[in-house]
Amino acid sequence: MTMDDRDGVIWMDGEWLPWREAKVHVLTHTLHYGAGVFEGIRAYNTDKGAAIFKLQEHTDRLFRSAQILMMNVPFTKDELNKAQREAISLNQLDSAYIRTMCFYGSEGMGLRADNLKVHVMVAAWEWGAYLGDENLEKGIRIRTSSYTRNHVNSTMCKAKANGNYINSILALQEALSTGYDEALLLDHEGFVAEGSGENLFIIRNGKIFTPETTSALEGITRETIMIIAKEHGYEVIE
């Protein structure tokens, strides 16, 4: 089943569209230069139905990412929260991955285009564990990447921006093609930054260490782990 050929509905610019009709033109600006921002949000199956993990925090980060790219999101946070919640109920999902993205349209081309409309989409579907269910049990093999993590002064790592993920994709392809499951990226000084798609923690001598977020995404799972660890009396050192 391809991503574009499914039953269900996708929210785009304030309307619910049949899944297969949520399309853009090939001259869509973000498709060419990668200037867009997005979120990936999990909803878990509970006794009370699907529970979205930290929806508000993800929406807040989406708006911070947009602000970094100087993109004006043409909806309020409440409107996007509603669309993200409804993406689960309308698609009748028990557990879900929600993908929300703000992207530029096809009103112009070139880096100087200044008449671009900001579009927003929300889709949700069932998606298993990020690194595979089996790997959750048995662990994974990680390779230190030969690619350096995006530098804060070149791509603004704090933004969850579409184009930033070229760095992740290159590192992951290198890891997978050499028999590993994931890439560990170092910053430009050689310090551990993060994985291609996740923050990292290590436990050493009873203390928990995690890289600071200069060259890593301000992960919401990261923040949550730090809160839980502290509640359990562990020191978390950045």
Ligand X SMILES: Cc1ncc(COP(=O)(O)O)c(C=O)c1O
Query: Which residues are marked as active site?
Result: 160
Residue whose C-beta lies closest to ligand X? 221
Long-range contacts of 110-119 (CB under 8 A, 24+ apart): 111/33, 113/29, 116/29, 117/74, 118/66, 118/71, 118/72, 118/73, 118/74, 119/12, 119/13, 119/24
Residue 28 or 164 with smaller CB distance to ligand X: 164
Q: Take residue 30 and report the two structure tokens written for it.
A: 């973000």
- CB neighbour class for 197 (10 Å; exposed up to 12, middle 13-18, buried from 19): middle
Residue 17 or 51 with smaller CB distance to ligand X: 51
Backbone φ and ψ of 207, nearest 5°:
-115, 150
d(CA 214, CA 187): 9
Residue 119 or 222 with smaller CB distance to ligand X: 222
User: Which amino acid appears at position 72 of this protein?
Assistant: N
d(CA 102, CA 105): 10
Backbone φ and ψ of 127, nearest 5°:
-145, 125
Q: Which residues bind ligand X (CB under 6 A)?
A: 40, 168, 194, 197-199, 217, 219-222
Bridge partners (DSSP) of residue 9 are: 18
CB of 197 to ligand X, least distance (A): 4
- CB neighbour class for 47 (10 Å; exposed up to 12, middle 13-18, buried from 19): exposed
Q: Computed over its alpha carbons, how large is the radius of gyration of the chain?
A: 19
